[in-house]
Structures are given as structure tokens and as C-alpha cells.
């Protein structure tokens, strides 16, 4: 009777165990899929930030310095700024290529219009980062007044050598019981 009871319990509970196992497997699969999507998104945004910063640094080094040098006041006009921004946008698109832009559209669910806005924002952020990272001129500060030297400390008295210890006797007399 004990064997048939266990078999009946197993027959009744096996669909419940199977359903719980299926539910846990589906939750695990969803968790893994979400983690992979998040890692893809993180990687994409990091690559996009790096691309925008590289393009902005390149344009700053090449075009912007030349434009500033050519202007009378050493500053860029609004048209020159727009020209630099357009050049940066075109360069970022070229670096990404059609496959990279398709990946951005797929992962972020964007179309060409909103993607241009995203790229433009990344470029503006890179310009701001570059401006904030630029070294600033620090005013020259007079050196601090010299500090008076501390008085010399008298040397410690020499330590006298330890007294010599008498050598131990060669043999001790044996003690005898009296």
C-alpha cells in the first residue's frame, strides 16, 4: 500500500512540478535576454560616446583652430559653428556606417530623424566635455614666506658599553648529599 500511495502522489504532483519548472525556465530565459539587451545597449552607447568624442577632438584639432586663426577676433561665428557641427555629424555617421546606424535604430527603436537628434546631442555633450577638460590658466601666486629653521637638537649622550661578564667556571663541583 505504501508503494502505491507514493506513486499516486507522484502522478498528482508531477504536472505541478513540471509547470513550476517550465515557469522558472521561462523567467530565467527572460532574465538572460534582458541582460543581453542591456549589455548591447550599454556597449552601443559607450561606442557612440567614444565616436562622438573622437570626432569632436579631430575637428577641434584640425578645422576649429584654423577657423579661429582666420577670424579677426579669434572666435567662431554662428555659421562656422554650424559648419563644424554639420561636419561632426557627417563624420560620426561615416564612422558608424550603415550597419552601425541600423544597429542604433534597432536597439533604441529610432528612425533617421530622432537618430540625428541623438547624434547631435552626443556631439554637443562631447564638445562640452572637451571644453570642461581644457586646462585653465591658474593665476601665479606669490610663494609662501620661508619658515624659520628649527633649532638644532643636541646629540644624545653616548651609551657606555656594557660591563664585561666574568667567564663561567669550567666545571662546577658535584653536589653530594650529606
Has residue 170 got a pLDDT over 60? no
pLDDT-wise least confident of 12-21, 112-121, 168-177: 168-177
What is the tens place of the pLDDT at every residue in 33-82?
999 988 988 988 898 899 999 999 988 888 888 888 888 887 888 888 88
pLDDT tens per residue across span 86-135? 999 999 989 888 888 888 888 888 776 678 888 888 998 888 888 888 66
Would you state the pLDDT for residue 117? 85
pLDDT band (50, 70, 90) for residue 151: low
- How confident is the model over 141-158, as a mean pLDDT? 59
Query: SS3 letters for the chain?
Result: CHHHHHHHHHHHHHHHHHHHHHHHHHHHHHHHHHHHHHHHHHHHHHHHHHHHHHHHHHHHHHHHHHHHHHCCCCCCCHHHHHHHHHHHHHHHHHHHHHHHHHHHHHHHCCCHHHHHHHHHHHHHHHHHHHHHHCCCCCCCCCCCCCCCCCCCCCCCCCCCCCCCCCCCCCCCCCCCCC
Residue 153 confidence (pLDDT) above 80: no
At 41 the pLDDT is 86
Does the predicted TM-score (pTM) go above 0.75?
no
Q: In which band, very low, low, confident or very high, does the pLDDT at 178 lie, cut at 50, 70 and 90?
A: very low
Q: Which pLDDT score is estimated for 18?
A: 92
Which one of 21-30, 52-61, 156-165 scores highest in mean pLDDT? 21-30
Amino acid at each position: 500500500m505504501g508503494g502505491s500511495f507514493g506513486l499516486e502522489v507522484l502522478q498528482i504532483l508531477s504536472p505541478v512540478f513540471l509547470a513550476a519548472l517550465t515557469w522558472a525556465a521561462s523567467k530565467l530565459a527572460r532574465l538572460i535576454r534582458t541582460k543581453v539587451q542591456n549589455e548591447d545597449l550599454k556597449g552601443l552607447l559607450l561606442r557612440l560616446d567614444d565616436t562622438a568624442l573622437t570626432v569632436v577632438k579631430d575637428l577641434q584639432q584640425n578645422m576649429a583652430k584654423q577657423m579661429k586663426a582666420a577670424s579677426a577676433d579669434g572666435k567662431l561665428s554662428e555659421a562656422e559653428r554650424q559648419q563644424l557641427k554639420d561636419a561632426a555629424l557627417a563624420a560620426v555617421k561615416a564612422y558608424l556606417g550603415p550597419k552601425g546606424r541600423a544597429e542604433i535604430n534597432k536597439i533604441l527603436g529610432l528612425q533617421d530623424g530622432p537618430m540625428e537628434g541623438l547624434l547631435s546631442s552626443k556631439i554637443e555633450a562631447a564638445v562640452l566635455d572637451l571644453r570642461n577638460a581644457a586646462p585653465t590658466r591658474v593665476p601665479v601666486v606669490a610663494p609662501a614666506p620661508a619658515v624659520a629653521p628649527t633649532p638644532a637638537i643636541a646629540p644624545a649622550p653616548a651609551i657606555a658599553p656594557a660591563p664585561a661578564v666574568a667567564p663561567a667556571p669550567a666545571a662546577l663541583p658535584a653536589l653530594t648529599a650529606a
